[in-house]
Amino acid sequence: MIDLLAKGGVLVGPILLTSILALAIFSERLIHFARLKIREDAVVTDTSGLIRSGDYATAMGLARQSATPMGRILAHALEVVDQDRETVETVIIHSMEEEVRNSSRYLQALATIGNIAPLLGLLGTVLGMIKAFMVIQDMGGKVNAVVLAGGIWEAMLTTALGLGVALPVMVGHSYLLSRVDKHEAQLQRGSVEFIKAIGNRQPESNR
């Protein structure tokens, strides 16, 4: 396999490098989303209960200590909880938008890899074909079918490799986009529960 890839030319290395980078991005984001769900569901439930009982100080501490996107949203909202509902909702919306942007981190890079991998493969094929025809020229136009066929299949290796990298990368990118959408929906549900808790809250217990 290594010998086969070695025949693909100088662009095999960059294509393989993009595949490694894509795998690292996908794995990091996958772990990121896997850790969020359980922790965020818990912080919403616990914080909302404390708000309903009027224990705002403990709710604020819990939200900050959770170190989750939902916790940060709730902490920002609790900072303005004494103001009107419109202000609280505005803070929640702005905080949520920021957290969604953070969840989408590196996804543009993943999409870029999916787009450039086949182009690198195509470039490698073009360069390989140029090399093959230069060999034919050096042979004085006497075409040797074996030499020509060998040059062509070696040139097309990079196209196959580029497509082989691009396909799973684009599938992974689409999957991660769906996880971002689900995460955004989760943040919205948590925010709604928080707003409901504010509506049913007791006076702050430490005042």
Instruction: Tell me the residue range of the domain where 19 lies.
Output: 2-199
pLDDT class for 107, splitting at 50, 70, 90?
very high
Q: So what's the pLDDT on residue 207?
A: 43
Confidence check: pLDDT of 184 > 70 = yes
Distance of CA 154 to the CA centre of its chain: 34
Q: Which residue has the tokens 């074909």?
A: 129
Q: Is 165 exposed, middle or buried (0-12, 13-18, 19+ CB in 10 A)?
A: buried
* Distance set, CA 115 to CA 109, 112, 126, 179 (Å): 10, 5, 18, 21
Q: Are 161 and 18 in contact (CB under 8 A)?
A: no
Q: What is the pLDDT of residues 128-152, one digit of tens each?
A: 888 877 777 777 766 666 666 667 7
Average of per-residue pLDDT values in the chain: 84
Q: Between vectors from CA 111 to CA 110 and to CA 112, what angle results, nearest 5°?
A: 90
In a domain, 207, yes or no: no
Our count of domains for the chain comes to: 1
Residue 183 forms part of a structural domain: yes
Flag whether pLDDT at 204 surpasses 60: no
Least confident of 41-50, 56-65, 187-196: 41-50
First-residue to last-residue Cα distance in the chain = 72
In a domain, 13, yes or no: yes
Is 206 part of any domain?
Answer: no
Predicted pLDDT at 57: 85
Looking at the domain assignment, is residue 123 inside a domain? yes
91 neighbors 80 (Cβ within 8 angstroms): yes
Is 204 inside any structural domain?
Answer: no
Residue 110 lies in a domain: yes
Between CA 192 and CA 125 the distance in angstroms is: 54
- CB burial of 103-122 (b: ≥16 within 10 Å; e: otherwise) equals bbebbeebbebbebbbebbb
In this structure, the chain runs to a length of 207
